[in-house]
Chain A
Amino acid sequence: MAGFREFCILITIAMVFVLPVSALEQQQTAGAQVMVTNVSMDPQVFMVGDTGTIAIEVINNGAQSVAIRRATMFDEEIMVDSRPYDTTTYLGAGNRMSFTFTVTAPVDEGIYYPTFSMDFRDSGYLRYPVKLQVQDKPLKISVIKKPDVFMDGKKENVDILIGNPRDNAVSGVVVYPSGEGIETTPSSIFIGMIAPDQSQKVSFSITPAKSTDLEIHVDYMNGINSHSEVIRIPVDLGDSKTRAELILSNIQVERSGSEYTLSGDVTNAGLEVANAVVITSGDEVTPLDPYRKYVVGTLQPDDFSGFEITFSTEGVGNVPVVVSYKDNDGKLYTTTTNINIPSVRAGEQETGDLPITMIAIILACAVVIGGIVWYSWRKR
Chain B
Amino acid sequence: MINLLDLLARPERFFSSLEGKEPDLRIPAAIAIVGAIIAAIAGYAMSGLYTELYAGIAEGMGPVMGIFIIISAFIGFLVMWWLVMAVVFFLISLLFKGRGKFTHTLANTGYGLVPVIIGSIVTTLVFLSYLPRIVVPVIRNIQDPAVIQEAMQELMHDPAMMEYTWVSMAISALFLLWSANIWIFGVKQARNITLKQACITVAIPVGAFIIYTLYIAVVGVPIPGGA
- Which A residues lie at the B interface, using CB under 8 A? 255, 257, 342-345, 347-348, 350, 352, 354-355, 358, 361-362, 365-366, 369, 372-373, 375-376, 379-380
Contacts and interface: CB of A to CB of B under 8 A. Distances in A.
Contacts of A354: 163, 166-167
B181 A352 contact: no
A348 to B, nearest CB: 4
Interface of B: 8-13, 115, 122, 126, 132-133, 135-137, 154, 158-160, 163, 166-167, 170-171, 174-175, 177-178, 181, 185
Contacts of B132: 345, 347-348
A361 B174 contact: no
A133 B72 CA distance: 106
A369 B135 contact: no
Contacts of A375: 9-10
B42 to A, nearest CB: 17
Nearest to B138: A340
Contacts of A380: 12
A345 B159 contact: no
Contacts of B137: 342
29 contacts: A255-B135, A342-B154, A344-B135, A345-B133, A345-B135, A348-B132, A348-B160, A350-B159, A354-B163, A354-B166, A355-B163, A358-B126, A358-B167, A361-B171, A362-B170, A369-B115, A369-B174, A369-B175, A369-B177, A369-B178, A372-B8, A372-B9, A372-B178, A372-B181, A375-B9, A376-B9, A376-B12, A379-B9, A379-B13
Which among B11, B115, B175 has the greatest number of chain A C-beta atoms within 10 A? B11
| Chain A interface, >50% SS class | loop
Contacts of A255: 135
Contacts of A343: 135
Contact of A376 (B11, B126, B171): B11
Given A361-B126, A369-B178, A376 B166 contact: no
Contacts of B9: 372, 375-376, 379
A80 B107 CA distance: 136
Nearest to A371: B9
Given A344-B135, A354-B167, A373 B13 contact: no
A352 B115 CA distance: 30
Which among B115, B137, B166, B174 has the greatest number of chain A C-beta atoms within 10 A? B174
Given A362-B170, A372-B181, 10 more contacts: A355-B163, A358-B126, A361-B122, A365-B175, A372-B178, A373-B177, A373-B178, A373-B181, A376-B11, A379-B13
Contacts of B154: 342
Contact of B10 (A342, A348, A376): A376
Given A342-B135, A348-B133, A257 B159 contact: yes
B220 to A, nearest CB: 17
A352 B158 CA distance: 11
Contacts of B178: 369, 372-373
Contacts of B159: 257, 350, 352
Contacts of B170: 362
Contacts of A342: 135-137, 154, 158
A133 B181 CA distance: 126
A212 B179 CA distance: 84
Instruction: Give the 6 A-B residue pairs with the shortest CB-CB distance, closest first.
Output: A348-B133, A342-B135, A369-B178, A358-B167, A365-B174, A373-B181
